[in-house]
């Protein structure tokens, strides 16, 4: 099964997609298998991260923004704005796809784990995710 999810972001940051992906798995009726989530963009990424304390996500966002600053003099790809080239770099430093086991009809995540779309651009975007579930 392959389904498409559309996520409207409100700009830069980690956007929790766990419930949306889990709902697809429940609706498909899979008890065991593998779920792969893939983001079809080059300026956003995916991650499995802390889902209890929002300060962990804020710290990650702040750290990555410091690691990959805007307006670096090395960038030549600047026509789409100061945040575009850093967004591409952030996407290669993180992940464009994730694989999560399905166990007893549920995502096999740990207690404090959630699935996140990581928007690297400052403006709101509509992001497309492909979710592939196999037995």
For 2-134, CATH number? 2.60.120.460
> Which residue in 100, 129, 119 sits closest to 40, CA to CA?
129
Encode pLDDT of 93-132 as tens digits: 999 999 999 999 999 999 999 999 999 999 999 999 999 9
Encode pLDDT of 23-43 as tens digits: 999 999 999 999 999 999 999
The predicted pLDDT at position 17 comes to 98
pTM of the predicted model, to two decimals? 0.95
Does the structure show a pLDDT above 90 at 135?
no
Sort 69 into a burial class: Cβ within 10 Å, 0-12 / 13-18 / 19+: exposed
For the chain, domain boundaries: 2-134
The predicted pLDDT at position 47 comes to 98
Q: What is the mean pLDDT of residues 11-33?
A: 96
């Amino acid at each position: 099964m392959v389904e498409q999810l559309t996520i409207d972001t409100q700009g830069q940051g980690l956007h929790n997609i766990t419930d949306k992906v889990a709902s697809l798995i429940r609706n498909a009726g899979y008890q065991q298998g593998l779920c792969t989530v893939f983001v079809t963009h080059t300026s956003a990424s995916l991650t499995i991260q802390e889902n209890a304390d929002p300060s962990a996500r804020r710290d990650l966002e702040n750290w990555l923004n410091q690691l990959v600053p805007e307006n670096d003099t090395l960038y030549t790809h600047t026509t789409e704005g100061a945040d575009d080239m850093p967004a591409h770099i952030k996407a290669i430093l993180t992940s464009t796809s994730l694989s999560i086991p399905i166990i007893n009809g549920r995502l096999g995540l740990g207690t404090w784990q959630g699935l996140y779309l990581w928007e690297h651009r400052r403006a709101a975007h509509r992001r497309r995710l492909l979710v592939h579930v196999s037995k």
